[in-house]
Amino acid sequence: MSERDDILANAVSHTKDQVRAAVREVRKELSDSVRQAASSKINEAVLEQNAIQRAEVIFCYIGYGSEVDTLPLIEQLLTLGKKVCVPKLGNAKGIVKPDAPMKVVELESTDVLKPSDQGILEPRKGKQFLGSPDVTITPCIAATQFGARLGQGGGYYDKYFDKNPLTIRIALAFECQILADLPGNDHDCVVDLVITENALYQRDEVAIDEDNLWEET
C-alpha cells in the first residue's frame, strides 16, 4: 500500500494536513471531462433538495481549481429567484490580506465576479448580508458519510457556522473525497448533508421531511 493510500484508508491516524494533501492529489487526478460531468450531477442533486426549493436565501461558495464547479448552480438559483450570497475575502482591489474575515455578499449576477489575487472568483463589491441564510453550501477537502467535514484549514466556515447555527449545511464533494473517518477536534463543524455525484450522505440525527425543511429526530 502506498503512503497516499494508507492516509486515505486510515485518515483518522494522520494529521489534517496529510489528509488534505492526499485528497487534493486524488481530486486533481480527475480529468476535466469527469470533473464537469460529476459537477453537473451534483448541481442537479442540489436543486432537487426540498430545503433548496423552499429556501429564500442561499449562501453558496464559488468553486475554485479542482473543486466542484458551482457557477452553473449559482446561475440556476438566481434564475429561480433565490437570493444568492457568495463569500468574499478580497478588498475592493481583489487583494486578500492575511487574516481577512470572510464576508457574505449578495450576488445579483455572475457577470460581476472577478478573480482575487488568489485566483478565486468573487464580487469586488456588493451588499453584505448580515442575516442567517436558510441554506449554506460549503466546499470541503474531504467528508464522511456521517457529515464530518475537513476544510481548507482557514477555519472560515467553522467560525461562520458557529455564528449561524440554524442555517442548513450542505457540503459538495466528489465521491473520491469521501473517507471512512477524519481527524478532527471539537471546533470542527459537521454538515447536515453531503452531496456527491453518486450519493446523498445525510447526518443520522437529521431527517428530510416532506412538510419541513429539516426535522430533528
**From the annotation, which residues make up the binding site for ATP?**
16-20, 149-157
Handedness of CA 190, 191, 195, 199 (dihedral sign): positive
Q: Which residues are annotated as a binding site?
A: 16-20, 62, 67, 149-157
Full-model pTM: 0.91
List C-alpha distances in Å: 127 to 55, 98, 112, 190, 211: 20, 22, 13, 28, 32
Give the residue numbers of the binding site for substrate: 62, 67
- pLDDT single digits (tens) 168-188: 999 999 999 999 999 976 567
Residue labelled with grid coordinates 464559488: 62
Does the 3-216 domain belong in CATH 3.40.50.10420?
yes
**Cα 22–Cα 32–Cα 50 angle in degrees, nearest 5:** 85
pLDDT tens-digit profile of 53-80?
999 999 999 999 999 999 999 999 999 9
pLDDT, average across residues 118-144: 93
Confidence band of 216 (pLDDT split at 50, 70, 90): very low
149: phi then psi, degrees, rounded to nearest 5: -135, 135
Q: pLDDT (tens digit, 9 = 90+) per residue, 50-60?
A: 999 999 999 99
User: Which set of grid coordinates corresponds to residue 124?
Assistant: 469586488
What average pLDDT does the structure give for the chain?
90
Residue type, position 65, single letter: G
Dihedral pair phi/psi, residue 171, rounded to 5°: -105, 140
What the block records as the C-alpha cell of 136 is 449554506
Comparing 39-48, 77-86, 99-108, 197-206, the range with the smallest average pLDDT is: 197-206
